[in-house]
């Protein structure tokens, strides 16, 4: 018999949520609040931070350094969002067929393929990115293959193409795993029923498989887009000064230039861009689902 909980009894769900809540307050909200406060402070010529409140750090992002248009920081923000969106689309295009095949494979083959998906995580991400750097450098794998086939030199290091390749390589498993989890739970008899009713394979995919796999698409896209937009290791090692992204700019302000207030402002603008892009994506997918 179900017993109603008294108003004076502690809610057991709140007790279960308490450790995670305390962790988030101490290690997420508190640092974010400190960073937000720093974004309004003033950097002194010595590199120290003075408690003089101002909005100049945010205004600086839209200010051109010379006669340039659009301003360099605006261009950098647009590049960060564009590269992240392209990375997400490429991961989806590559990951969806793989996850679908993975979900429909025999158990033994499925286990082997899943092992291949998670195998890169056994090696440090920095080492793997350095390996890509050597492959994209002059006389690297891509350059040697292109010259052997008669296409001339193909040095991709220092280009946006190299950054996108590195990000797709790094975050592809984050797209495949949620998609696989969604497609593996889907009942194959639904597709078979659509085929029996006269639908073509393409129509069955568009009307049955794709809508049912939307939760996996949304989860994978968010997991790829968010770290891609704030990435700084891959753009720094595979890109160059012309491909700098906002994540790399934040790292530069904190570690090299020691302009913590401006770095904090860039960090918050980056976070705002990610939140807006993610919200727009959720809204578009929700409208499509309805």
> Is the previous residue joined to 79 through a cis bond, with omega within 30 degrees of 0?
no
Given the structure tokens 């720093």, which residue do they identify? 38
Q: What are phi and psi of 49, to 5 degrees?
A: -110, 125
**Above 90 in pLDDT, residue 173?**
yes
Rounded Cα gap, residues 271 and 207, in angstroms: 35
Span 186-232, pLDDT tens digits = 888 998 999 999 889 999 999 999 999 988 998 899 899 989 988 88
More confident residue, 228 or 279: 228
Is the pLDDT assigned to residue 10 strictly greater than 60?
yes
The span from the CA of 79 to the CA of 44, in Å, is: 30
Instruction: Write down the pLDDT at residue 61.
Output: 84
Measure the CA–CA gap between 67 and 70, rounded to whole angstroms: 9
**CA–CA separation, 170 vs 223, rounded Å?**
12
| Average pLDDT over all residues of the chain | 87
pLDDT of 290 over the 80 cut? no
Does the pLDDT of residue 2 top 60, yes or no?
no
pLDDT at residue 86 is higher than 90? yes
Cα–Cα distance for residue pair 61/262, rounded to 1 Å: 9
- Measured CA to CA, the distance from residue 290 to residue 280 in angstroms comes to 15
Q: Residue for token digits 């408690």? A: 51
């Amino acid at each position: 018999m179900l017993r109603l909980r008294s108003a004076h009894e502690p809610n057991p769900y709140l007790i279960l949520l308490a450790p995670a809540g305390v962790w988030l307050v101490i290690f997420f909200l508190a640092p974010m609040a400190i960073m937000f406060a720093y974004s309004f402070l003033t950097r002194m010529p010595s590199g120290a931070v003075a408690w003089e409140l101002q909005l100049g750090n945010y205004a600086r992002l839209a200010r051109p350094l010379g006669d340039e248009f659009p301003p360099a920081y605006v261009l950098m923000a647009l590049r960060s969002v564009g590269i992240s969106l392209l990375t997400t689309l490429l991961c989806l295009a590559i990951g969806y067929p793989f996850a679908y095949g993975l979900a429909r494979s025999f158990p033994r083959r499925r286990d082997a393929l899943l092992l291949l998906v998670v195998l890169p995580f056994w090696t440090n991400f920095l080492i793997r990115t350095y390996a890509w750097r050597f492959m994209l450098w002059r006389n690297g794998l891509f350059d040697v293959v292109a010259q052997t086939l008669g296409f001339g030199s193909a040095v991709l290091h220092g280009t946006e193409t190299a950054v996108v390749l590195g990000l797709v390589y790094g975050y592809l498993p984050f797209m495949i795993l949620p998609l696989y989890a969604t497609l593996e739970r889907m009942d194959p008899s639904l597709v078979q029923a659509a085929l029996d009713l006269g639908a073509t394979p393409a129509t069955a995919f568009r009307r049955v498989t794709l809508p049912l796999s939307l939760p996996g698409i949304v989860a994978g896209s968010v997991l790829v887009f968010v770290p891609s937009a704030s990435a700084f290791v891959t753009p720094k090692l595979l890109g160059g000064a012309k491909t700098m992204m906002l994540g790399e700019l934040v790292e530069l302000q904190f570690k090299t230039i020691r302009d913590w207030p401006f770095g904090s402002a860039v960090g918050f603008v980056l976070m705002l861009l990610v939140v807006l892009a993610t919200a727009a994506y959720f809204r578009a997918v929700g409208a499509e689902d309805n």
